[in-house]
A = this chain, B = another copy of it.
Amino acid sequence: MGSGWLATNPMKKISLLALAASAALSSPLLAQAKPEETAALRDAALTDSVAWDITEGLTTEIGPRLAGSDAEARARDWAVARLKALGFSNVRVEPFEVPYWERGEASAEIVAPYPQPLVLTALGNSAATPAKGLTAEVIGFDSLDSLKAADPAAVKGKTVFLTHRMAVTQDGSHYGTVGKVRREGPSVASKLGAAAILIRSIGTDHHRAPHTGAQSWSDGAQPIPALALANPDADQLERVLKRGQPVTVALKATARMAGKRLSGNVIAEVPGRDPNAGIVLVGGHLDSWDQGTGAIDDAAGVAITTAAAKRIMDAGQPLRTIRVVWFGSEEIGLFGGAAYREKHKDEKHHLLAESDFGSDRIWRYQTSIAEAALPAMKPLAAALAPLGIQPAPRNGDASGSDISEIQKLGIPVIELGQDGTRYFDVHHTPDDTLDKVDPAQLRQNVAAWTALLSVTANDPTDYGPVPPRAH
């Protein structure tokens, strides 16, 4: 097979004979990367410093990057400058508007029977309490289902406390189950007439670091204060309630919706040799929650995918265009993903792949591609195996948050899955800071993404059409 794309690699010593052969065979069908070249690029990426530099720079020089905030705007400027400096083409911002929600302050104390403070924070789109605060009796529920089944007369005017247990899983799969408690609980409580809702943090840690996150008000649900208790505080409230006396909690929260603000996606490209070969889209999201500096969520994601794309760019022009997208306003409701779909839905996308699950080592890959294209994954499997990465047992589960909207058009997706064992210790908390990023595991990520791009940006096989997802 030819080695067309490697022939343009300025870093490689290539014989004239090889160059001639390459020129003669430069059809897209013969563009596949040689396994040994992919392996060399992959292994070189194990010494990568670009991903660390981006993660360190973005979290240090910008810090928290709440969707629609001034900080997110500064982050876009930072991203444009950095992507240009790295040598990417067509670096630009694609702006869009978002509803702007401010966290404000939140405090709580048990008034009776055991006066003491509780640590909590507002969930996305939470309403404020009255300025003087809100004091109400607490009614506890141990599941969303038990709340849904509650007698409205028992809930009316009370502060609902909704608890649960989040399990530690390597693949993070329990987030789907307990995330629902956060996403739906506030609307359910509001419709039952609750004055406010306190939800145990969706997290696996034992710190006074409440996990924020998005929730939205379903039709007919009046916004109420919706707050996440830190896990030790939820433990405490459970113990206090179990003693059987009426429990009163005073809350103050100043969260509010504050009009429309500008957000945007930052885009950079490595133009491919064949403009008609379709785009390989990789990226993560630029915005973060405002409690931490968004290191694992998701500075690392944009850093890993950008570092890998740069390695492919520096190795020579790929067959297909690689488009790196640093999505805006993911956390508050996937606004960047929706804006991207709207603007780019008519372009040909070959493949989508997103990094938004931290930066611990990648241990498996998943696909959402045509069954007929599964044999074409063999070179990818071979390139990833030396990094300890195995294929998931079935096709159809790959996705990503920002790419989920455009994925609905039927575009193939490959997902490189990081080890999530400690991800939900930190996710959406003030503790999402640079020290949580392990440089060695970050480099393993870059190596895996470099292998992914080396194979897929040069593979002439079409991975579609994608059948509807199995679940």
Q: Residues of A at under 8 Å CB distance from B?
A: 56, 60-64, 71, 110, 113-117, 119, 206-209, 231-232, 235-236, 239-240, 243, 292-293, 429-431, 433-436
Cβ-defined partner of A208 (8 Å) among B60, B61, B110, B209:
B209
Residues of chain B within 8 A of A235, CB atoms compared = 433-435
Residues of chain B within 8 A of A240, CB atoms compared = 60
In the complex, the answer to whether A207 meets B431 with C-beta atoms within 8 Å is yes
Cβ-defined partner of A207 (8 Å) among B56, B71, B209:
B209
Cβ-defined partner of A62 (8 Å) among B116, B430, B435:
B116
What are 15 of the A-B contact pairs (CB < 8 Å)?
A: A56-B239, A60-B236, A60-B240, A60-B243, A61-B114, A63-B115, A63-B116, A71-B116, A206-B433, A207-B431, A208-B209, A209-B209, A235-B433, A236-B434, A239-B434
Residues of chain B within 8 A of A117, CB atoms compared = 63-64
In the complex, the answer to whether A431 meets B114 with C-beta atoms within 8 Å is no
Residues of chain B within 8 A of A115, CB atoms compared = 63, 71
Nearest Cβ in chain B — how far from A104, in angstroms? 13
Q: Within the assembled complex, what's the spacing in Å between the Cα atoms of A434 and B234? A: 12
Q: Within the assembled complex, what's the spacing in Å between the Cα atoms of A119 and B209? A: 12
Q: Within the assembled complex, what's the spacing in Å between the Cα atoms of A206 and B62? A: 20
Nearest Cβ in chain B — how far from A313, in angstroms? 27
Closest to A56 in B: B239
Q: Within the assembled complex, what's the spacing in Å between the Cα atoms of A434 and B115? A: 17
In the complex, the answer to whether B431 meets A208 with C-beta atoms within 8 Å is yes
Nearest Cβ in chain B — how far from A410, in angstroms? 41
Q: Within the assembled complex, what's the spacing in Å between the Cα atoms of A64 and B435? A: 29
Closest to A429 in B: B208
Q: Within the assembled complex, what's the spacing in Å between the Cα atoms of A436 and B60? A: 31
In the complex, the answer to whether B293 meets A119 with C-beta atoms within 8 Å is no
Residues of chain B within 8 A of A430, CB atoms compared = 119, 208
Given A208-B209, A208-B292, A433-B208, residue A116 in contact with residue B64 (CB < 8 A): yes
Closest to A59 in B: B236
In the complex, the answer to whether A206 meets B436 with C-beta atoms within 8 Å is yes
Residues of chain B within 8 A of A429, CB atoms compared = 208
Residues of chain B within 8 A of A61, CB atoms compared = 113-114, 243
Nearest Cβ in chain B — how far from A249, in angstroms? 13
Extra contacts besides A71-B115, A206-B433, A208-B430 (12): CB < 8 Å: A56-B239, A60-B114, A61-B113, A63-B116, A64-B117, A116-B293, A119-B430, A207-B207, A208-B292, A209-B209, A232-B434, A235-B435
Q: Within the assembled complex, what's the spacing in Å between the Cα atoms of A465 and B298? A: 63
Nearest Cβ in chain B — how far from A118, in angstroms? 9
Residues of chain B within 8 A of A292, CB atoms compared = 208
Q: Within the assembled complex, what's the spacing in Å between the Cα atoms of A209 and B209? A: 8
